[in-house]
A and B are shown apart, each in its own frame.
Chain A
Amino acid sequence: GENVEQHPSTLSVQEGDSAVIKCTYSDSASNYFPWYKQELGKRPQLIIDIRSNVGEKKDQRIAVTLNKTAKHFSLHITETQPEDSAVYFCAASIVADMRFGAGTRLTVKP
């Protein structure tokens, strides 16, 4: 089955700096890669996603890149703000079979 690894497990940045979270997946058939943000005690919320036929996608300060050959994808957050502090999960899926990474706890220091 699919295995998703996520790094780093914790990340601390200064406000205004960029943050990068990386994930690798094992199943080359995976074709959809969402990223979720989970604030303490709340539900995971979708922040951006990318399909396997796209190499990069951007939404304001957030971007995701995908390298299918290497089977890795990354989340980039620019100009970080304190409200970006949360746990971020990557996922890889084939239709309904979605597997999550272990999560990255991002702390943005003001």
Chain B
Amino acid sequence: GAVVSQHPSWVICKSGTSVKIECRSLDFQATTMFWYRQFPKQSLMLMATSNEGSKATYEQGVEKDKFLINHASLTLSTLTVTSAHPEDSSFYICSAQTGRMYQPQHFGDGTRLSIL
């Protein structure tokens, strides 16, 4: 149980392109979803927290107009990297949680984004 699916797993695109990443909870309802960015050999950097039906809460220093997050249902959240540039190249991971106490976050497989 508690499976999170993230697509695509790998994206290579030209600078200026917008890229959408999907995160789905397959067998549970995710009240809260999270988006992380992970640089090589570094920790998980929280970008934003999204609750179903409401606006995402962005961490300090994360541009909300650059990283658009939509959490339209209890099983789907999307991250759109708008007008991506080489410095946006990274490993993006989503996670989902039921929102109840004492519950772990369940992670997707991540998306490796490479901007040329």
A residues neighboring B (CB under 8 Å): 31-32, 34, 36, 41-46, 49, 51, 89, 95-103, 105
Contacts and interface: CB of A to CB of B under 8 A. Distances in A.
B interface majority secondary structure: loop
Given A32-B102, A98-B105, 4 more contacts: A44-B44, A46-B106, A96-B32, A97-B49
24 contacts: A31-B102, A34-B105, A42-B110, A43-B93, A43-B108, A44-B107, A46-B104, A46-B106, A49-B104, A95-B99, A95-B101, A96-B32, A96-B97, A96-B99, A97-B49, A98-B97, A98-B105, A99-B46, A100-B43, A100-B44, A100-B46, A101-B43, A102-B43, A103-B42
A64 B103 CA distance: 16
B36 to A, nearest CB: 9
B57 to A, nearest CB: 10
Interface residues of B, number: 23
Contacts of A41: 110
Contacts, number: 49
Interface in B46-98: 46, 49, 93, 97
B109 interface: yes
Given A31-B101, A32-B101, A45 B107 contact: yes
Contacts of A31: 101-102
Contacts of B49: 96-97
Given A89-B43, A103-B43, A43 B101 contact: no
Nearest to A53: B102
B110 A34 contact: no
A41 B31 CA distance: 27
Contacts of A43: 93, 107-110
A80 to B, nearest CB: 21
